Structure 1
Amino acid sequence: MRFSLVLGVLIGLSGKAISQNATLNVTNPGNRPLIQSVVEIPWATVTKAYPAIDTAQLQVVLAGKEVPYQLEHRGTKAIQNLLVQLSASPKQTIQLTLRRGKPAPIAAKTYCRYVPERYDDFAWENDKVAFRIYGAALNGRSDNAYGSDIWAKRTDALILNKWYKGDDYHKDHGEGLDYYHVGLTLGAGDIGVFLNDSIQFIHNYRSWEVLDNGPLRSTFRVKFDPYTFKGITVNETRTVSLDAGSQLSKVLVAIIHTAAQALPMVVGITLRPEESPLLLAEKEGILGYWEPKHGDDGTIGVGCLFTTSPVTMMRNYQHGLTKLSVKSGNTITYYTGGAWDKAGQITSSDAWFAYLRQYADQLKHKPVVRIN
């Protein structure tokens, strides 16, 4: 009798211990390695595998060691995804353990913010690169700019607040600088309307909202004032995400317009007067540019990837352009970003175009998550 009681207690304790853990298998289906990539695991999958989960007491473990993670909300109260930064060889399956325990603190690797002290800039960065777009306060000024700006970084530290506070970021003090020129162009991968064989700029954003802010992914949304081009009124809402370790941001552009049919648009990269390598890979959906060297400042590569291909590309209007079209109420998704040779990781046009091709391949072969 006593033995049966003790056995029952042990079985109950064992069951409780088991309920404190769950395992997920993550497979890299591609032929290229994942190197410290942010993997998105739907929260519904997590809770199905681990019904007893306590988000205040959650550790994610790989081979006995904790790995960094983020609970992504996408601007909602409910958790949408578990984000985990992982490496995996081609075709490799790795096993993650979810267990109860206080998670170790991790340093943020992404960040975004509204910058009211600099004419309504909105800026974002990760451990590789930094970007900004321009707000409505800049409209009408002589130094106005329309497109996306890229900052040249050679530190994995987050520098936006430091650089803006110092207000001397056009000089390199050892961490990088902002020397990329945007002006009244699309800059480093912005989007515009394309009517009557010309680029129509939607100007600068009006309002902003931060949806998530690190440590592994930062996401924000900006809205633009409606603009009327050739009798067609266009409303744009843009959502931008940047992952730790990535040279590229993900951009979702929602368009509402009054055109009777699909609205022609273009995503573009500003070209400099000097000859420099330009990649127009229409079948692969890859637009890449390796800028001419900018004196002692070095060289920046800029690129865009498109989730649907083939696409039509061209070199015109001092831009490398990808032509798209969107029906009112629909969304365009693309990736855009860049790399600086003085960061020491991507130092040539060949290396930059190879990075873009690798990234495009990984988008087609996203990690597969299964409950073990």
Structure 2
Amino acid sequence: MKFKNNFTCLLLLLPAIFFAQTKTTITIENNSVLDRKETVVPIEWKMILNSFPKIDTANFVVLNPKTKKQVAYQLEHKTSSNIQNLLVQVDVKAKSKVTLLLQNGKPEKFVAKTYARYVPERKDDFAWESDKIAFRAYGKALEGTNENAYGFDVWVKSTPNLVVNERYKRNDYHVDHGDGMDYYNVGYSLGAGSMAPFVNDTVRYSANYHAWKVLDNGPLRSTFQLKYDTWNAGGVKVSAIKTISIDAGSQLNRVENVYTFDGDKPLPVVVGIVRRTTAGTISLNEQQGILAYWEPTSPKDGTTAVGSILTTPVASMWVDKLQLLAKTSVKSNETIVYYTGAAWDKAGIITNAKKWIEYLEKFNEEIKNPLLISVK
């Protein structure tokens, strides 16, 4: 009789065990007063495994239970060979939640919305993009040439399609062929929001990056590292590794810098945006850590907007003859995170200075109010 009771209990448990191994529910909650649109949400992979330990990483789908349609996703590795996060892109209205179902199945092939690559055919460029905007950084091969520049470059876009490969293939990216172009002038500045040490009231530029590594590459987030060899920053020997990621739907990059130098004293650093000689719209918000610049309009090429958001306390912001600057500080071998990016009025989304500043302010609020995730 005892054996029969135990066998009956086992039979009753089997459906629950089977369910736990074949599907799980993800709830994404937005407690803020801001609607979240096209947001890439990271869900810790260990949370997935706790609920769905037998998941086959090559054969699962994420479904919207209301529409019955698959939701685009990505397995994010960062610097590890193991999966760190499941990334999904969703819209979540203010004070509401979205529920997704993760289960066994054959995933669709999702359209890539981000991309990053080393470009050896163009003097060691490194280029990256989202479906909104594109950028590049300059490598060792450009040093000592009359084309050299220090900071981040912007490639404006008027299409959600990925354009980097096609533009390099055409070798004519300074002309708008209907999808945008490169008309942003970086020069010897921090360009579109790069960071550098600021020692003795002087920006201490490094050489260009000398090593690179792609960590993740779409469809929803692309992440890579650029390594900068040791340089003399006003008497301080400094080296740096910059980890940059861009999400689908975003105008801004997340930049994670690690500076290495001797001593325990914090190193002053600045984020900078190159300014033009003619009038534009400048906004310096020290309290919120937001630099915003709506460049003067080019009659032919339109208007580029550039902005940066610091997540560490800002000591000061100012404008000099060359660029907009925001000063903060960092300790050796400690990560400092900020966001920087751009927009183009001809894309038809952000079409004036007011909308650009509002975009940056909303982005800043989203950083401060992360979405809440539960998996069961």
- TM-score scaled to structure 1, two decimals? 0.95
1:154 to 155, 158, 181: 158
Aligned positions of 1:93-242 closer than 5 A: 93-242=97-246
Aligned positions of 1:5-154 closer than 5 A: 12=14, 15-17=17-19, 19-63=21-65, 64-154=68-158
Q: Please state how far the C-alpha of 1:266 moved relative to its aligned partner.
A: 0.6
Which residue of the partner structure matches residue 363 of structure 2? 359
- Please state if 1:343 is matched with 2:339: no
What is the SS of the residue equivalent to 1:345?
coil
Q: How has the CA–CA distance of structure 1 residues 194 and 23 changed in structure 2, closer, same or farther, with 3 Å as cutoff?
A: same
2:226–2:241 CA contact under 8 A, matched in 1: yes
Aligned partner letter, 1:43: W
Q: Please state how far the C-alpha of 1:258 moved relative to its aligned partner.
A: 2.6
For 1:35-83, what per-residue CA distance to the aligned partner results, in whole angstroms no more than 9, with x for missing partners?
1110011111111122221111111112222100000001321000000
1:24–1:49 CA contact under 8 A, matched in 2: no
What is the SS of the residue equivalent to 2:254?
strand
2:205–2:233 CA contact under 8 A, matched in 1: no
Q: How has the CA–CA distance of structure 1 residues 44 and 311 changed in structure 2, closer, same or farther, with 3 Å as cutoff?
A: farther
Q: Please state how far the C-alpha of 1:177 moved relative to its aligned partner.
A: 0.4
Comparing 358-367 with 258-267, greater Cα deviation is found at 258-267
Q: How has the CA–CA distance of structure 1 residues 144 and 296 changed in structure 2, closer, same or farther, with 3 Å as cutoff?
A: same
Q: Please state how far the C-alpha of 1:317 moved relative to its aligned partner.
A: 3.8
Q: Please state how far the C-alpha of 1:314 moved relative to its aligned partner.
A: 1.0
In 2, Cα distance between the equivalents of 1:162 and 1:59? Answer: 31
In 1, Cα distance between the equivalents of 2:42 and 2:313? Answer: 23
Comparing 319-328 with 129-138, greater Cα deviation is found at 319-328
Q: How has the CA–CA distance of structure 1 residues 310 and 225 changed in structure 2, closer, same or farther, with 3 Å as cutoff?
A: closer
Q: How has the CA–CA distance of structure 1 residues 325 and 150 changed in structure 2, closer, same or farther, with 3 Å as cutoff?
A: same
Q: Please state how far the C-alpha of 1:17 moved relative to its aligned partner.
A: 4.3
Q: Please state how far the C-alpha of 1:187 moved relative to its aligned partner.
A: 0.5
In 1, Cα distance between the equivalents of 2:52 and 2:119? Answer: 40
Q: Please state how far the C-alpha of 1:8 moved relative to its aligned partner.
A: 8.1
Which residue of the partner structure matches residue 305 of structure 2? 301
Comparing 314-323 with 204-213, greater Cα deviation is found at 314-323
2:291–2:307 CA contact under 8 A, matched in 1: yes
2:204–2:234 CA contact under 8 A, matched in 1: no
Q: Please state how far the C-alpha of 1:6 moved relative to its aligned partner.
A: 11
- TM-score scaled to structure 2, two decimals? 0.94
Unaligned stretches of 5+ residues in structure 1: none
Q: How has the CA–CA distance of structure 1 residues 10 and 332 changed in structure 2, closer, same or farther, with 3 Å as cutoff?
A: closer
Q: Please state how far the C-alpha of 1:230 moved relative to its aligned partner.
A: 2.7
Q: Please state how far the C-alpha of 1:7 moved relative to its aligned partner.
A: 11
Q: Please state how far the C-alpha of 1:259 moved relative to its aligned partner.
A: 5.2
Aligned partner letter, 2:52: Y
Q: Please state how far the C-alpha of 1:11 moved relative to its aligned partner.
A: 7.0
In 2, Cα distance between the equivalents of 1:162 and 1:42? Answer: 35
For 1:234-272, what per-residue CA distance to the aligned partner results, in whole angstroms no more than 9, with x for missing partners?
001000000000000000010001356211111000011
In 2, Cα distance between the equivalents of 1:224 and 1:213? Answer: 21
What is the SS of the residue equivalent to 2:300?
helix
Q: Please state how far the C-alpha of 1:315 moved relative to its aligned partner.
A: 1.1
Q: Please state how far the C-alpha of 1:337 moved relative to its aligned partner.
A: 0.2
Aligned partner letter, 1:225: D
Q: Please state how far the C-alpha of 1:13 moved relative to its aligned partner.
A: 5.5
What is the SS of the residue equivalent to 1:141?
coil
2:314–2:327 CA contact under 8 A, matched in 1: no
For 1:315-352, what per-residue CA distance to the aligned partner results, in whole angstroms no more than 9, with x for missing partners?
12421101011111112110000000000000000000
Unaligned stretches of 5+ residues in structure 2: none
Aligned partner letter, 2:171: D
2:309–2:360 CA contact under 8 A, matched in 1: yes
Structure 1 vs Structure 2: percent identity of aligned residues? 45
In 2, Cα distance between the equivalents of 1:14 and 1:262? Answer: 54
What is the SS of the residue equivalent to 2:210?
strand
Which residue of the partner structure matches residue 269 of structure 1? 273
Q: Please state how far the C-alpha of 1:203 moved relative to its aligned partner.
A: 2.2
Q: Please state how far the C-alpha of 1:19 moved relative to its aligned partner.
A: 3.1
Comparing 93-102 with 81-90, greater Cα deviation is found at 93-102
What is the SS of the residue equivalent to 2:56?
coil
In 1, Cα distance between the equivalents of 2:197 and 2:19? Answer: 58
Comparing 242-251 with 100-109, greater Cα deviation is found at 100-109
2:43–2:373 CA contact under 8 A, matched in 1: yes
